[in-house]
Amino acid sequence: MKIGVLLPNSTTYPLISHNFMTGLKGSLAELATALSPELLTASIGFGTDGVLMLKEAEIMLLDEKADLLIVFADHPTIECLFPLINALKKLLIVVNSGAKYPPVKKQPFVIYHTLNYALHCRLIGKNAAKVSSKAVVATSYYDGGYSLCHAITKGYADEGSSVAFNFVSKFNAAEFDMEPLTSFLTSNHDVRHIMAVYSDLSPVFYERLAIEFPAIPLNIFVNPAMLEELHLPEYGITNKEIVVSSYLPWAAQSATSGNVAYCNAFKSKTGRAPDAIGALGWDTGALIIKYITVSLENSLFNTKQLLNELLDAKIEGAKGTIYIDGNTHQVFSPAYQVKLGAGNQLIIQDTVPLIEVLREWTEIYDDPPQGLVSGWINTYMCS
C-alpha cells in the first residue's frame, strides 16, 4: 500500500509536520514488515492554496498511485479535493486541530480525524458555568477567527451564565496590551473568571495577568492549545492564586496501553516529550491499520464497503478509544479534564467518556451557529 501525506508549514508550531509524521510512523511500525505501507509526503504551505493542494494530491494519487491520502488542512480549502477523491473512489483522511466546527454533511470517501478543539471548548464553557455566573472572554484578533470563541461562550451561556466583558488583544506579542481587561477586572470585583482562547500569545497572556494581578485569585478556563508545552511560561505562572484548567483531547499522563505505547515510541524516536499532534498522527496510523486489516479480511470489497466496516468501530489509540461516527464520518475520543499544576505539570481531574463526548457533538450538530459566520481559511496554528 502507498499512502500520500500532504503536510502543512507553521511558524506558530514549527514541529507540527514532524511530530505528526513521527506519531504516524510509530503507529504504523506495529504492522508486519510485509504489510508496512510506503509513505509519500509533500508540503502544502499553510494549507490555504487550493491550487497547490490539488496539484500535490493529483501527483500522489495519479502519478505515484497512492492508495490513500492524508491531508493536514481544513475547510474550506480541502473541498477542492472532493471531486478528485470521488472520481478515484479512494479514501481521504482529513486531519487538523478541529478549531472549526466540523462539517455536518459527510462525504462518501472522507474521514475527518481532528483534535476536536471546538468541542473541547464547549466542555470548557460548560465547566466554567458550574462555578461562575459571569465571566470575561479573552482572545486575540487571530485566535478569535475560529469556532473556539463561539464554542466556549455557547457552552457557557447554555448553562445559564453570561459573558460580562469581551477582550480582544492584538496578535503581535510586542504590541500586547492588557488594557482594557485590567481596568474591567479592577473595577468589577465580582468577576474573577476568565475564559481564554490563545495560541502563541499564551505565555504573554499568562505573564501579563500575573504582573497585573500578582496576588488576586483568578480562575482561567483555557482552550487546549494554551496548555501545550510551547505555549506555557517557561518557569510557570508566578501568581499562585491563578487556577488554570481545561479539557484536552490527549493527556500525556493517561495510562491507557495505547498512550503508553505512543509516548514511549515518540520519546525513543525524538528524545522529546510527546504532544497532541504526535498523538493525532499515532491515532491516524491506528485508523489505517484497521483499514488494512479490514481490506485483508475482505479482499473483494471496494473502498466504500471497506469504509463502512470501519464506521462505528472502536479502536484503541493514544487519545483513548477512538470511534468513527457513521452519520458524519467524524472521529471522536474521550476528553480529559485537567488542571495546571506546579512546574507546568498537568493533573488529570476527570475523564469524560466517549459516550458523553458524542452527546456534546450531537448538541453542536443539532444547533449550529446561525447567521453570518466568518473565519480564517487555514487550520488552527498553521500560520
Give the model confidence (pLDDT) of 183-213 as tens digits: 999 999 999 999 999 999 999 999 999 999 9
Sheet holding 110-114, edge to edge: 38-43, 2-7, 68-72, 91-96, 110-114
Nearest CA among 4, 18, 9, 7 for reference residue 277: 18
- Domains of the chain, CATH where assigned: 2-115+254-332 (3.40.50.2300), 119-248+335-364 (3.40.50.2300)
- pLDDT greater than 80 at residue 374: no
Is the CB of residue 246 less than 8 Å from the CB of residue 226? yes
The C-alpha cell of 296 is what?
A: 485483508
**CB pairs under 8 A, 24+ apart, for 11-18?**
11/383, 12/199, 12/200, 12/381, 12/382, 12/383, 13/230, 13/277, 13/381, 13/382, 15/277, 16/72, 16/277, 16/381, 16/382, 17/43, 17/72
Q: Is 202 helix (H, G, I), strand (E, B) or coil?
A: helix
The model's pLDDT over 287-300, given as tens digits with 9 standing for 90+, comes to: 999 999 999 999 99
Is the CB of residue 208 less than 8 Å from the CB of residue 176? yes
Q: How confident is the model at residue 372 (pLDDT cuts 50, 70, 90)?
A: confident
Position 172 scores a pLDDT of: 86
Is the CB of residue 334 less than 8 Å from the CB of residue 321? yes
The C-alpha cell of 317 is what?
A: 489509540
Is the CB of residue 225 less than 8 Å from the CB of residue 202? yes
Give the percent of the chain with pLDDT over 70: 100
Position 171 scores a pLDDT of: 84
Q: Is residue 115 classed exposed, middle or buried when 0-12, 13-18 and 19+ CB atoms within 10 A define those classes?
A: buried
The model's pLDDT over 129-162, given as tens digits with 9 standing for 90+, comes to: 999 999 999 999 999 999 999 999 999 999 999 9
- Rounded to the nearest integer, the mean pLDDT of the chain is 95
